[in-house]
Amino acid sequence: MPENLSKEQLLQAANEFGTPLYVYHAEKIKEQYEKLTTAFSVLDTKFFYASKALTNINILRYVKNMGCEVDCSSINEVKLALHAGFEPQQILYTSNGIAFSEIEEAVETGVHINIDSLSNLEKFGKKFGHSYPVGIRIRPNIMAGGNLKISTGHDTSKFGIPVDQLDTIKDVVKATDLFIRTLHIHTGSDIKDVEVFVNGMEVLFELIPHFPELEVIDLGGGFKVPYIPGEKETDVKLLAQKIKETFDNHPVADNKKFQLWFEPGKFLVSECGYLLAQVTVVKDTGPIVFAAIDSGLNHLIRPMMYDAYHHIENISNPTGEQKVYTITGNICETDTFAADRSLNEIREGDYLAIHNAGAYGFEMASNYNSRFKPAEVMIKDGHTYLIRRRDEWSDLLNNQVEVF
């Protein structure tokens, strides 16, 4: 098991590359991947890293070298995955709400495709008929996930084709002679309860008899990782056992061996990442002491977007007296990273490490307030590599057309 990055390693990176800075610990990604492959060795399983969590090309290549495949949510992610060196057959494209032309583009690359609307399914059938095996994303009408914004399988969600539209799906498949190879669900993110995956499978099991050419059951991503100290991640060993039991006990799955696919994002890359920032201002307002850092919701939106808890450490003063702070950014609207949080005493100039910043951290960053996006570094085998330079002045003007 790799040790987590030490405060010294983080401080060294902050000193060398400046802040705000994203730091990723490669071996942590591998540790998480191995937990999955070990747990699921009892079943024929493939893992597709949900690259939307973090698409830095070096991370994609690291994940590929571990033996993991890749899940994409846009044609550009597909292109990044190809650029990173994945073979088309190692790439899964789970589209949602897109124009059919983007699906056609994906077909040209030869990747696996999951379709999430009747409209695109019908177009796909009319154009490709039986020639291109495809998956259907089903909305199982299951409520799951850490909060409503990241719940995707419930009965008012935009994602997937509602399971109660099975008859129409069958009509389309029959009329256009589609080759349905995969049934897919993804019910949300931050799912700790393994029963959610089992319930989703049971919904899919009801559908299996209707798709005789089916080879793959794809249960999506969504495994929980600990954000708050002491929290537990999804017990993937228990999950594998339960899924195996469900397969073993289900009559429709009995006479055919299905391959199981998962699309983990957070589970692989959340804990590997830290956002390092420097304290710019300590402001004592009486009841609240604010510590402002040289970052903001433009660099890590999760606290403001999902009320997400991110653990924060003062790596410059690890033995300082515990005091209560509200950690904020430098953006011109409320951008609280943590409210009323106990931390070792903070002085202006101290470096803070914000944990669990690997997944949906840099990836959701923006240039709001015309701030630069941070640099990214990767620590692998004890060496630190710059894997994205910090934005610079020209990046702010790069795509602007100066007409007036």
120 binds ligand LLP (CB under 6 A): no
- Let me know how long the chain is: 404
Q: Contacting ligand LLP (CB under 6 A), which of 46, 302, 371, 373?
A: 302
373 binds ligand LLP (CB under 6 A): no
- Minimum CB distance to ligand LLP smaller for 238 or for 396: 238
100 binds ligand LLP (CB under 6 A): no
Q: Find residue 325's DSSP bridge partners.
A: 341
94 binds ligand LLP (CB under 6 A): yes
> Which one of 126-134, 166-174, 264-272, 377-385 is the stretch in contact with ligand LLP (CB under 6 A)?
264-272
Q: How far apart are CA 337 and CA 332, in angstroms?
A: 14
221 binds ligand LLP (CB under 6 A): yes
Which residues between 5 and 44 bind ligand LLP (CB under 6 A)?
Answer: none
Least Å distance between CB 197 and ligand LLP? 12
Which DSSP string corresponds to 330-350? SSSS--EEEEEEEEE---TT-
Which residues between 191 and 220 bind ligand LLP (CB under 6 A)?
Answer: 220
Least Å distance between CB 189 and ligand LLP? 3
* 173 within 8 A of 134, measured Cβ to Cβ: no
Least Å distance between CB 141 and ligand LLP? 16
Which residues between 309 and 348 bind ligand LLP (CB under 6 A)?
Answer: none
To the query of whether residue 332 is one of the catalytic residues in this protein, the response is yes
* 13 within 8 A of 385, measured Cβ to Cβ: no
150 binds ligand LLP (CB under 6 A): yes
240 binds ligand LLP (CB under 6 A): no
The helix (H) or strand (E) run that includes residue 71 is: strand 69-72
197 — phi, psi (to 5°)?
-70, -40
Residue ranges of E strands in 219-321 = 259-262, 273-284, 289-293, 312-314
- Minimum CB distance to ligand LLP smaller for 50 or for 59: 50
Q: Contacting ligand LLP (CB under 6 A), which of 27, 77, 122, 263?
A: 263
306 binds ligand LLP (CB under 6 A): yes
Least Å distance between CB 74 and ligand LLP? 11
- Minimum CB distance to ligand LLP smaller for 69 or for 263: 263
53 binds ligand LLP (CB under 6 A): yes
Residue ranges of E strands in 140-179 = 161-162
* 192 within 8 A of 164, measured Cβ to Cβ: no
- Minimum CB distance to ligand LLP smaller for 351 or for 360: 360
* 211 within 8 A of 177, measured Cβ to Cβ: no
Q: How far apart are CA 345 and CA 185, in angstroms?
A: 46
266 binds ligand LLP (CB under 6 A): yes
Dihedral sign, Cα of residue 139, residue 144, residue 148, residue 151:
negative
With H, G, I as helix, E, B as strand and everything else as coil, classify residue 379.
Answer: strand
- Minimum CB distance to ligand LLP smaller for 325 or for 337: 337
CB atoms within 10 A of CB 328: 22
Structure tokens belonging to residue 389: 């330079």
Site of interaction with ligand LLP (CB under 6 A)? 50, 53, 71, 94, 150, 186, 189, 220-223, 263-267, 302, 306, 359-360
Residue numbers annotated as active site: 332
